[in-house]
């Protein structure tokens, strides 16, 4: 098998063979929604005491 892998890498490097990346991974909808909310949602949930501990407020 290593010989096959070496030949495949060589062919891709010399552009004799296209590189196959496969299908794009699907996004987790819950994670995407949290990403859209971002820091604004985190800031709303943070208490003043915790905010001061993290150094955001002097």
d(CA 38, CA 36): 5
Domain locations along the chain: 29-58
**Of residues 53, 56, 31, 33, the one with CA closest to residue 43:** 56
Read off the pLDDT of residues 3-58 as tens digits, 9 standing for 90 and up. Answer: 878 999 999 999 999 988 888 778 888 888 877 777 777 777 776 666 566 665 55
Q: Give the global pTM.
A: 0.36
Residue 12, both tokens? 């891709």
């Amino acid at each position: 098998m290593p010989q096959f892998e070496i030949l495949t890498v060589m062919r891709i490097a010399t552009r004799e063979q296209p590189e196959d990346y496969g299908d794009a991974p699907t996004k987790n909808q819950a994670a995407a929604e949290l990403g859209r909310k971002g820091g604004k949602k985190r800031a709303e949930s943070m208490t003043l005491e915790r905010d001061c501990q993290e150094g955001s407020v002097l």
